[in-house]
Amino acid sequence: MSILQATNLYSYYGKSPVIQDVSFNMEEGEIVSVLGRNGVGKTTLLKTIMGLTDNATGGLMFNGQDILNKRTSERAKLGIGYIPQGREVIPRFTVRENIVMGTYARTDGNRNIPEYLFEMFPILRDFLNRRGGDLSGGQQQQLAIARALAMDPEILILDEPTEGIQPNVVKEIEEAIVHLNRDRGISIIIVEQNIPFARKASDRFVVMDKGKIVVTGMKEELTDDVVERHLTF
């Protein structure tokens, strides 16, 4: 069953189209990796799904519902969680306050922090009363993921979640992403530069160049030739 579908999608900053004629279909329960060199529109694609660009045209369906003209907050309440590049935790808020913020996108009024978040990222329990700005980069990424999960999303969108993070925490975050998908049934879209991880974890991939999708396929089709032609610098 399709959970997210884009059809002839264009997205603009001002009058300039950054995303051009993008079409893809994501099935429920999949991990989809969005790949490409720097500056080709990957982050803009994620922002377009969240309604964070100046304007978008074409088709964008989530669970069979047209969301193209919905506000970002409305999309979140429908079940789309987003962890942006740079994490954007609130530095003066405690870890607890940052996570509880995520619950305000829930429609059932539940403000409790799900226990499994602390099982996945034990350090967050230890640091519940520490300010978000005092955490390391890797700990802030774990906090940003926990905040998005606190809203109980159906789909999670992650923009380079392991960028600039110490290797031991990278492994924890990668394992958490696979766990969320395989064991908790959350569909995931991830912008990722780590090709081995994309090959291991993804069900399918899209490669972008100059604002367009130039290659798409199942993970087995992410060949060395595709990497050489579209992803090497």
Question: By CB neighbour count within 10 A (0-12 exposed, 13-18 middle, 19+ buried), where does 87 fall?
Answer: buried
pLDDT of residue 164: 86
Given a cut of 80, whether residue 233 has pLDDT beyond it is no
CATH class label, 2-230: alpha beta
pLDDT digits (tens, 9 = 90+) for 8-34: 999 999 999 999 999 999 999 999 999
pLDDT digits (tens, 9 = 90+) for 174-184: 999 999 999 99
Specify the DSSP class assigned to residue 32: E
- Specify the length of the chain in residues: 233
**Spatial contact of 83 and 145, defined as CB atoms under 8 Å apart:** yes
Mean pLDDT, the chain, as a whole number?
95
pLDDT digits (tens, 9 = 90+) for 127-162: 999 999 999 999 999 999 999 999 999 999 999 998
pLDDT of residue 168: 87
pLDDT digits (tens, 9 = 90+) for 48-96: 999 999 999 999 999 999 999 999 999 999 999 999 988 789 999 999 9
Percent of all residues in the chain with a pLDDT value above 70, rounded to a whole number: 100
Percent of all residues in the chain with a pLDDT value above 90, rounded to a whole number: 91
The amino acid at 28: E
CA 204 to the chain's CA centroid: 15
pLDDT band of residue 217 (cuts 50, 70, 90) is very high
pLDDT of residue 70: 97
What pairing do the DSSP bridges indicate for beta strands 31-35 and 187-191?
parallel
Give this prediction's pTM: 0.94
pLDDT band of residue 101 (cuts 50, 70, 90) is very high
Q: Please report where in the chains the tokens 């309440």 appear, as a residue.
A: 77
- DSSP letters, 107-169, are SS---PPPTHHHHH-HHHHHTTTSBGGGS-HHHHHHHHHHHHHTT--SEEEEESTTTT--HHH
Q: Report domain extents, the chain.
A: 2-230
